[in-house]
């Protein structure tokens, strides 16, 4: 077999500081032979005769390991041939493979997160679309969501004109209270479109139907809903009658000028929300909105009311404990939400207590105090819900409530 011999000088590579010499690409199997002249040379330069031989059949297999892939410097400082990479190369390869695996894992996790986020977004969009579809299906005739002024106009001029019960229409028109309106209907004093109607549940449309009470025609326009806060004086009763000292009588001058304030609209029938006894002063609400009054005054609404009680006599700890434990009123156990003493006023040395209740039973605060063995000198209500009696509102005066005040009445501190 013909052999091709090439002399390779290793001095330029061995002069480097590194101990490992690598080739940029893998060499074919080498057959290293030292020439006689090289072996006999006594100079410091070392020469090798390297001849390239044909690989044996076993070396042609893919699994054959190259004979001399690495040239390394041994412990004695001389270069030698090695069939395996040095330890630091193996560590570098392992580190590179580990970094590659970590990068692949990060990419896989990132892909999974993106897929989960995309699935969640798609599910949320589908759910929102489903909810909107159900809402459109459930309320096909719901009023459009326009501006606040447009919604108010709809509620005041369109929504309330839908057919309603006859007794409710009469009460809203200011004829009488709902209970008295039912009595008028039962007595046959109400006609609808020329026929006597004796059922309070009859649905009528005040803008289309002709309604008469005792021969007087009901206006096709309803008065606006009004809400007032009144600083009730002592000695006035919460009655809707013609008594001269009723809370409603405080509005006589206001109602006399109604045609100038609201021309073309019928006068409202005002009444108090709940009651304060004749000796109790302070905050009371007056309105012509029956549904609002029922909701605010009913004990199930749990709207809190705050009272300031002036006690005639000394108050001790045992009295406060007795008030806090509550008492039975009309067979129902009533327990106050708060009982605490207040600082004495400069013009009197009488003890004052703050009592907060939510039941709204008749004479509830007076019963709590008297059950504890104390005598009430004066009682004043100063708060309903989150609405507090204005400090500048004089006794016997009233102020019209704004929308924010009406919402405050229905909430609690």
Joined tokens for residue 123: 């599910």
Q: Is-contact 67 30, C-beta < 8 A?
A: yes
Distance CA 340, CA 322 (A): 12
Which residues, in sequence order, are bridge partners of residue 231?
283
Q: Would you say how long the chain is, in residues?
A: 413
CA terminus-to-terminus distance, the chain? 108
277 included as an active-site residue = yes
Specify the residue for token string 């002063």.
281
Q: What are the distances in angstroms from CA 157 to CA 140, 248, 266, 321, 406?
A: 20, 27, 15, 53, 20
14: Cβ contacts below 8 Å, ≥ 6 apart: 21, 73, 79
Contacts of 202 (CB under 8 A, 6+ apart): 165, 166, 192
Burial class (CB in 10 A: 0-12, 13-18, 19+), 330: exposed
**Which among 241, 310, 243, 237 has a CA at the least distance from the CA of 274?**
237
The two structure tokens encoding residue 116 = 């989960």
DSSP state of 138: H
* Other beta carbons less than 10 A from residue 399's beta carbon: 15
d(CA 210, CA 229): 35
The residue from 88, 205, 277, 312 that is catalytic is 277
How far is Cα 168 from Cα 250, in angstroms, rounded to an integer?
Answer: 25
DSSP letters of 261-281? Answer: HSTTSPPP--EESS---TT-E
SS3 25: coil
* Residue 289 dihedral angles phi and psi, to the nearest 5°: -100, 100
Return contacts of 345-348, CB within 8 angstroms, 24+ apart. 348/310
CA 109 from chain centre, in angstroms, equals 34
Active site residues: 277
């Amino acid at each position: 077999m013909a052999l091709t011999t090439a002399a390779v000088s290793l001095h330029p590579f061995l002069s480097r500081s590194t101990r490992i010499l690598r080739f940029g690409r893998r060499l074919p199997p080498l057959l290293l032979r030292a020439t006689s002249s090289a072996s006999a040379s006594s100079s410091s330069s070392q020469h090798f005769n390297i001849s390239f031989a044909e690989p044996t059949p076993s070396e042609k297999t893919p699994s054959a390991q190259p004979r001399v892939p690495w040239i390394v410097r041994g412990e004695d400082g001389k270069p030698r041939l090695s069939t395996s990479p040095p330890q630091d190369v193996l560590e570098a390869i392992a580190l590179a493979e580990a970094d590659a695996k970590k990068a692949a894992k990060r990419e896989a996790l990132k892909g999974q997160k993106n897929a989960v986020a995309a699935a969640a977004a798609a599910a949320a969009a589908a759910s929102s679309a489903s909810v909107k579809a159900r809402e459109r299906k459930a309320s096909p005739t719901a009023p459009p969501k326009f501006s606040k002024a447009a919604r108010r106009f709809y509620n005041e001029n369109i929504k309330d004109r839908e057919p309603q019960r006859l007794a409710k229409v009469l009460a809203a028109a200011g004829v009488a209270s709902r209970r008295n309106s039912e009595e008028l209907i039962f007595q046959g004093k109400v006609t609808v479109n020329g026929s006597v109607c004796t059922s309070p549940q009859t649905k009528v449309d005040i803008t289309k139907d002709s309604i008469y009470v005792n021969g007087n025609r009901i206006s096709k326009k309803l008065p606006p809903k009004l809400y007032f806060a009144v600083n009730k004086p002592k000695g006035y009763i919460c009655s809707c009658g013609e008594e001269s000292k009723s809370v409603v009588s405080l509005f006589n001058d206001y109602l006399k000028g109604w045609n100038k304030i609201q021309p073309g609209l019928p006068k409202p029938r005002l009444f108090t929300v709940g009651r304060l006894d004749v000796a109790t002063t302070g905050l009371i609400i007056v309105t012509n909105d029956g549904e609002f009054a029922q909701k605010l005054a009913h004990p199930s609404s749990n709207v809190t009311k705050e009272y300031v009680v002036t006690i005639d006599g000394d108050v001790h700890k045992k009295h406060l404990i007795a008030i806090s434990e509550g008492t039975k009123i009309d067979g129902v156990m009533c327990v106050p939400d708060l009982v605490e003493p207040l600082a004495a006023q400069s013009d009197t040395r009488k003890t004052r207590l703050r009592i907060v209740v939510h039941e709204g039973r008749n004479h509830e605060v007076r019963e709590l105090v008297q059950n504890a063995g104390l005598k009430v000198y004066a009682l004043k209500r100063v708060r309903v819900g989150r609405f507090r009696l204005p400090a500048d509102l004089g006794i016997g005066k009233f102020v019209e409530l704004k929308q924010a005040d009406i919402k405050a009445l229905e909430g609690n501190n």
